[in-house]
């Protein structure tokens, strides 16, 4: 018994430490049947980490964890013994990038393997995921070339094969197709095709019946249905849980390049947030909501600085200055002012271009075109006015803080 005691105490200490880092400490005396689904998942995750397994399988492990929990999990799995094999199913690209040496991608019922080279910059965020994207792009380029060559070789044979399933063609004519579905929502047929192209919907599926689509394609079409309505406010609740990576990347590009409205995203996907938002409301626990003006990377860097400051405080009796909160608030405000100034400059350039277009259309005398350009000009001027008003308020706040 005495020989087992040290090992038992070590296991107990590891279990308690893991429970604490995964926010399970308040639940240690609670019966398992009384736990919620998310709490059970965190409990199972903690058990897996402390059990010294030879194979650890994690299915979407970050779905019910906060940022601190995800960072702890990343460090914990990287610290596993070399003889422990780790298999993770995840849509969290930041977590994937932090822990992966090899990525297996399931695409169109095929499995592809990508061995990731050592990153030249170990501190670069998402570097492993970037290496995966580069390798995938190379694979897709090769496949596209092969498909073109195969199509040219088969010629008429390929065309005949596509008409072989008569029963499928008969059923297809009785249901709404993908393109018909979108055309019912948008006023212009070209807009339906533009959305389908932008979200990488294969052209060969445009005229398929909606019921023929895979689960992932149906979800993609559901997203297009929302975007086709041209909303002013877009609410996304954990989109990474329901969309494949290709669709997520298309959504990120759409929000960044095409969407002029307000986007509110509830998400644990740090990669998605890093690409789409510049203002965060972070639920830090115990009713505390952090209002952070800035990017996800800046917030993570700030939290790391806070952790370092706490460690330093434990080693020193020197009191922290009372103005830390005000200093942080002022820093955030100045960062937001710079962003607003860039946005104002970009809007001014757009307005000048539209004004020039308005003058040119006015010379031609086409009333409908003139009305369209005029509405666009007023819309941009209104947008500039809102940005300027926000800029003035922030400038006044900074003056008060000075």
Q: Which two tokens stand for residue 7?
A: 């090992």
Specify whether the CB–CB gap between 101 and 77 falls below 8 A: no
Instruction: Provide the β-strand partners of residue 235.
Output: 264
Residues 6+ apart with CB under 8 A from 163: 169
Q: Is 123's pLDDT higher than 50? A: no
Q: Which residue has the tokens 């990474």?
A: 240
pLDDT at 328: 64
- The model's pTM is 0.54
Lowest mean pLDDT among 208-217, 324-333, 364-373: 324-333
Q: Span 366-380, mean pLDDT?
A: 77
Q: Is 160's pLDDT higher than 50? A: no
Q: Report DSSP state, residue 260.
A: -
Residues 6+ apart with CB under 8 A from 272: 93, 239, 240, 248, 252, 265
pLDDT at 126: 65
Residue 110: in which H helix or E strand, if any? strand 110-115
Residues 6+ apart with CB under 8 A from 376: 354
pLDDT at 166: 24
Q: Which residue has the tokens 């059923």?
A: 171
What are φ and ψ of residue 187, in 5° steps?
-80, -30
Q: What is the pLDDT of residues 40-88, one digit of tens each?
A: 888 889 899 988 899 999 999 988 788 888 888 998 898 888 899 999 9
pLDDT at 229: 81
Q: Is 315's pLDDT higher than 80? A: no
Q: What is the pLDDT of residues 191-205, one digit of tens each?
A: 888 888 888 888 888
What is the length of the chain?
Answer: 402
Helix (H/G/I), strand (E/B), else coil: 293: strand
pLDDT at 125: 59
Name the nearest CA neighbour of 275 among 242, 245, 307, 305: 245
Q: Span 160-176, mean pLDDT?
A: 37
Q: What is the pLDDT of residues 221-277, one digit of tens each?
A: 888 888 888 888 888 888 887 788 888 888 888 888 888 888 889 888 888 998 888
What is the average pLDDT value for the chain, to the nearest integer?
78
Cα 180 to Cα 95: distance, rounded to the nearest angstrom: 39
pLDDT at 84: 92
């Amino acid at each position: 018994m005495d020989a087992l005691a040290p090992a038992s105490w070590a296991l107990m200490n590891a279990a308690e430490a893991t429970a604490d880092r995964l926010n399970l400490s308040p639940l240690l005396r609670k019966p398992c049947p009384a736990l919620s689904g998310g709490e059970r998942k965190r409990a199972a995750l903690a058990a897996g980490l402390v059990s010294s397994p030879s194979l650890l399988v994690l299915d979407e492990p970050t779905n019910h964890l906060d940022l601190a929990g995800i960072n702890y999990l990343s460090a914990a799995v990287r610290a596993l013994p070399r003889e422990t094999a780790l298999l993770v199913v995840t849509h969290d690209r930041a977590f994937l990038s932090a822990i992966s040496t090899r990525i297996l991608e399931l695409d169109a019922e095929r499995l592809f393997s990508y061995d990731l080279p050592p990153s030249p910059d170990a501190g670069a965020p998402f570097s492993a995921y970037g290496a995966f994207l580069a390798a995938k792009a190379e694979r897709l380029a090769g496949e596209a070339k092969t498909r073109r060559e195969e199509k040219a070789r088969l010629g008429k044979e390929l065309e005949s094969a596509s008409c072989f399933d008569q029963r499928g063609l008969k059923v297809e004519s009785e249901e709404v197709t993908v393109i018909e579905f979108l055309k019912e929502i948008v006023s212009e047929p070209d807009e339906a095709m533009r959305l389908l192209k932008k979200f990488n919907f294969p052209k060969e599926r445009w005229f398929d019946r909606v019921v023929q689509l895979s689960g992932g394609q149906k979800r993609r079409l559901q997203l297009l249905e929302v975007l086709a309505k041209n909303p002013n406010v877009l609410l996304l609740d954990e989109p990474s849980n329901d969309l494949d990576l290709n669709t997520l990347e298309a959504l990120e590009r759409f929000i960044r390049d095409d969407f002029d409205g307000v986007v509110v995203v509830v998400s644990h996907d740090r990669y998605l947030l890093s690409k789409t938002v510049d203002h965060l409301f972070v639920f830090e626990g115990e009713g505390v909501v952090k209002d952070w003006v800035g990017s996800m990377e800046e917030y993570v860097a700030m939290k790391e600085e806070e952790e370092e400051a706490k460690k330093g405080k434990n080693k020193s009796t020197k009191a922290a200055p009372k103005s830390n909160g005000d200093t942080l608030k002022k820093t955030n405000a100045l960062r937001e002012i710079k962003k607003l100034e860039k946005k104002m400059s970009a809007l001014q350039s757009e307005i000048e271009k539209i004004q020039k277009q308005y003058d040119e259309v006015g010379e031609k005398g086409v009333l409908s075109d003139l009305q369209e350009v005029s509405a666009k000009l007023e819309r941009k001027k209104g947008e500039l006015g809102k940005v300027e008003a926000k800029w003035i308020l922030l400038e006044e706040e900074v003056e008060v803080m000075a």
